[in-house]
Amino acid sequence: MDLIELFLDILCVILSYLIGGILPAYIFGKIKGIDLREEGTKNPGTSNAFRVLGLKYAIPTAIYDTLKGLAVMLMAYGLNRNFFIIQLCGIVAIIGHIFPYYLNFRGGQGVATSTGLLLFYLVSYMAISLEIFFVILYLIILVVLFVYICRVGSLLSLITFPILGFAVFQIYPTSAYNLFFILILIHIASIGLYKVISEKKIIIEDETFKAHWWRVAMRPFAIIFVIFYAFNPWLPSLIFIGSVALAFILLELVRFLNKQTNVILTEKVKAIFKKSEVSKFSSMTIFLVAAFISILLFEKTIAIASLVFLIFGDIFGKIFGLAFGKHKIYDKTVEGTLAYLGCVLICGYFLFFLLDIPLLILICGGAVAPLIELFSFGVDDNLTVPLVSGVIMTVVKIFSGL
């Protein structure tokens, strides 16, 4: 590379930073004597411009912030820069928006600029093939579902982007866009996560949940058993999970037989066992038993799918049901059940490609999981969901000949 080429690369990057650092919302605010970094959401971006300054200022802010990443990429393209420099300019424009030098590196969040680049990459993928378009339609179903459940926009990227990121590597495994696309997804999702936490978008007042929140937080780690089974033969997996289940059963029997121990574990040390579990097996033990039975009875892919539906569906159903549930059905909520279904749709996408399960089998097993959780009628859904879902998928497989 000669000095002129190097100079042009550096010039493009510097200009991208400077152009990205121009914040119309901040400028409009200063004209009106307002620092948007101190008002409203304290973010000099489109939404805060609309909230504090009004629509006529929000529209040009949205247009500029969305297009400036594309503008600097076009500039680099016009100067005959290579593929990497062109994409880098788009990323640097986002950095400039977040860390403008003239505001002591305290700018906006860069979501609008990132969204502009996200749309560019999606169009570029569709120019290669339209497969990603059908993934987007699938994601629209998820968006509609979760908007109805919670109406928390900052959650949507956390729910949909894992599928979108997986899809581009699955559909376009060799595309040079993938790395930059993933960086954009991570940035937007991280801002979404920050908003969910900082603005307390999910608030659960349920006292039982507050006392035992760690059990819900630990639930995703149950996937370790599923992963172990996925990469190991049937018998070693059965022995491993069966041994862990037996250890939990023995612990439960000890507390049943020793009243003082049971009182300590359910009342004195309230975070370990729920008070409702004083005379019955805990959900942790029942899950392990259900996992053992599922692996024992069902084909490997079906056992894995049914357990994945349970592990993650239960988390979604519980959290969204407690935080946003308004319409009761028995001891559950419509919102919690729909969140369970949404989680099944998310997990189902990954399972379809990773396990190569026929779509009909996956649909039948996934559709029944939230229904079994809803109509459990006093039976622990940690047992009923994987077993009934597994039976349904097995029956469909047998009679469909798939």
Please report, for the chain, the start and end positions of each structural domain, with discontinuous segments joined by +. 1-103, 129-201, 207-400
pLDDT for 74 beyond 70:
yes
CA separation for the pair 258, 215 (Å, rounded): 24
Element (H, E) at 177: none
- Provide the pLDDT for residue 2: 84
- Provide the pLDDT for residue 43: 85
**What value does the mean pLDDT take over residues 355-364?**
91
Least confident of 1-5, 53-57, 157-161, 297-301: 1-5
CA distances 96 to 57, 104, 164, 194, Å, are 21, 12, 26, 20
- Provide the pLDDT for residue 33: 86
**What value does the mean pLDDT take over residues 374-397?**
90
Q: Would the pTM count as exceeding 0.75?
A: yes
CB 328 within 8 A of CB 352: no
Banded pLDDT at 32 (limits 50, 70, 90): confident
Least confident of 120-124, 205-209, 361-365, 393-397: 205-209
Higher pLDDT, 155 or 279: 155
**What value does the mean pLDDT take over residues 100-113?**
90
376 token code pair: 């459990």
CA separation for the pair 230, 237 (Å, rounded): 9
Higher pLDDT, 119 or 402: 119
> How open is the CA angle 182-87-128, to the nearest 5 degrees?
70
CB 103 within 8 A of CB 25: no
**What value does the mean pLDDT take over residues 380-391?**
93
**What value does the mean pLDDT take over residues 319-331?**
89
- Provide the pLDDT for residue 402: 72
pLDDT for 271 beyond 60:
no
Pairing mode, strands 328-329 and 332-333:
antiparallel
CA distances 315 to 143, 188, 348, Å, are 18, 23, 16
- Provide the pLDDT for residue 274: 65
**What value does the mean pLDDT take over residues 302-308?**
96
E strands present in 189-346: 328-329, 332-333
CA separation for the pair 249, 193 (Å, rounded): 38
- Provide the pLDDT for residue 369: 94
CB 398 within 8 A of CB 310: no
pLDDT for 269 beyond 70:
no
**What value does the mean pLDDT take over residues 252-261?**
76
The pLDDT tens digits of the residues spanning 213-234 come to 777 888 889 999 999 999 999 9
Banded pLDDT at 278 (limits 50, 70, 90): low
pLDDT for 41 beyond 60:
yes
Banded pLDDT at 54 (limits 50, 70, 90): confident
pLDDT for 162 beyond 90:
yes
355 token code pair: 């396990």
pLDDT for 67 beyond 90:
yes
DSSP 10-76: HHHHHHHHHHHT--HHHHHHHHTT--TTSSTTS--SHHHHHHHT-HHHHHHHHHHHHHHHHHHHHHH
